[in-house]
Structure 1
Amino acid sequence: MTTRVEDATIGDCAELTRIVRTSSAYDGRYRVMVAELGIDADYLAAHLVRVARDGDGPPLGFHTVIVPGCGADGEGEVDFMFVDGAAQGRGLGRLLISDACEQARARGLRRLHVVSHPPSEGFYLAMGARRVGVVPPEGEITWSRPHLAFEL
């Protein structure tokens, strides 16, 4: 079966929220970052949300691009990028980041920022992002986060 990336629908919101809140990448001290996060109809209406799925099946992963995000005019930000634990290792992360960059380019953006979960920095660097800074701890997030960017 061929995996495709397409726009998310309101019917995907509960599954996208489950993928975020159960991500093993956020176990332990990182859980506070995602415990209350979710994708709802308002978020879907305001931002680009794209899902990877096999056929008509449920989402296997997703990305979101927000404009404005970090950066200046003509730049956006990857707000969410998750692959369901059961679908890890299939190249879906690469597929989703490629789609995010293509979608951003098609919308006339020249740069796509990522404030990365620290353990995910290596993935984004391997996908072609470069480190442009560090976001200091704030509120319940008591650790610094890498600030990366894709030049489009």
Structure 2
Amino acid sequence: MSSRVTGSRGAAHGGVTVRRAVARDAKRLTRLVRGSGAYEGPYAPMVAGYRVGPDYIETHEVFVAVGPDGRVLGFYALILSPPELDLMFVADDAQGVGVGRLLMDDLKSRARAAGLGRVRIVSHPPAEGFYLSVGAERVGTVAANPPAVMWDRPELELPTDEDELGY
């Protein structure tokens, strides 16, 4: 993917659109999680057996970025109460062209529409810089919780009000 993707939800951007995930997306989302290059090496056990099931998609706010060819390029899951980004993944070959920013713009818009002023993010350590670049603020650290999570993780909050985001 060589073109940049910009914009917000509802419209096509560089041929990429964001739509609500459906149960039949479950296997594609699971493959995206398990194949993520961000979870190689010491992080691999975190996603080794992870599964995004149809039941998860049907009961949570899950949205996918889809390329013009129908390929799922990334997704996020927003928990409304308490407000938290539960999952966010972008395919390795779709990173750096705006897909993640498109998803975050969509998340902020949907969170605002739901009356949420801020969304908590417990970040994968290598992803912290991305979240900071889209307006999140570091508020603390979530301690490791072995055996599930063997490392401390940055805790951030993402304001959903565009005036607070500073761009």
8 Å Cα contact 2:26/2:53 also seen in 1:
yes
Tell me which of 122, 131, 147 is aligned to 1:115: 122
Q: What is the root-mean-square deviation in Å for CA atoms of aligned residues?
A: 1.2
Q: TM-score, normalised by structure 1?
A: 0.91
Say if 2:152 is the partner of 1:144.
Answer: yes
The residue type paired with residue 67 of structure 1 is L
CA contact (8 A) 1:130 1:150 kept: yes
Distance 2:67 2:31 in 1: 18
Amino acid at match of 2:143: P
> What is residue 37 of structure 1 aligned with on the other side?
50
CA distance in 1, matches of 2:88, 2:77: 7
**Within-5 A mapping of 1:1-152:** 2-55=15-68, 57-69=70-82, 76-140=83-147, 141-152=149-160
> For residues 109 and 45 of structure 2, what CA distance do their matches in structure 1 show?
31
Q: For residues 104-147 of structure 1, what are the alpha-carbon distances to aligned partners after superposition, in whole Å with 9 as ceiling and x for unaligned? A: 11111111111000011011001100011110010221210000
Deviations 1:30-62 (A, max 9, x none): 111111222111101221000001236121100
Q: Is the 8 A contact 1:12 1:58 kept in 2?
A: no
> What do the CA deviations read for 1:5-48 (whole angstroms, capped 9, x no partner)?
01011111100000000100010111111112221111012210
The alignment covers a number of residue pairs equal to: 146
Give 3-state SS (helix, strand or coil) of 2:156's partner: strand
Q: Give the superposition deviation at 1:89.
A: 2.1
TM-score (norm 2): 0.83
Identity %: 47
Long gaps (5+) in structure 1: 70-75
4+ runs deviating over 6 angstroms: none
For the residues of structure 1 that align with 2:85 and 2:136, how far apart are their CA atoms?
12
Contact 1:52 1:62 survives alignment (8 Å): yes
2:9 corresponds in structure 1 to: none
